[in-house]
Amino acid sequence: MKMILAIVQNEDAPELVEELNHQNFFVTKLASTGGFLKKGNTTLLTGVEDAKVEQVCGIIKQFAGKRRQMVFTSSPSAGSLANMSTSVPVNMEVGGATIFILSVEEFEKF
């Protein structure tokens, strides 16, 4: 038995939890904060049989891992009107997950 502890970006958590549940994994979601940036992130706890670790890590990587994505960001308009901004598409790296896999001796529900 393993406890997978995954720290992911808040934006990625809803779809990731949905997919884990969809594939029959139990998940506990904790609101957490990065010690370095002091920014909110999400910590997910998932207890699984050893044989399922790879499957769970694959789902986390797919839904919360680092990937490149087109993001629309506003930039000051080159036009003459004050306070106007235009939306500019930028290919950015988004996401990122830190995973810890802990060996668990026992698992019981009362």
Of these, 37, 51, 70, 81, which contacts ligand 2BA (CB under 6 A)? 37
Q: How many CA atoms lie within 13 A of 39 on its CB side?
A: 7
Q: Which two tokens stand for residue 67?
A: 């990937």
3-state secondary structure of 26: coil
Of these, 21, 85, 86, 98, which contacts ligand 2BA (CB under 6 A)? 98
Of these, 1, 57, 96, 101, which contacts ligand 2BA (CB under 6 A)? 96
For strand 85-94 and strand 28-33, is the pairing parallel, antiparallel, or unpaired?
unpaired
Q: Verify binding: residue 70, ligand 2BA, rule CB under 6 A.
A: no
Rounded Cα distance between 20 and 8, Å, is 14
Of these, 7, 94, 99, 101, which contacts ligand 2BA (CB under 6 A)? 7
Q: Indicate the residue among 14 and 34 with the shorter CB distance to ligand 2BA.
A: 34
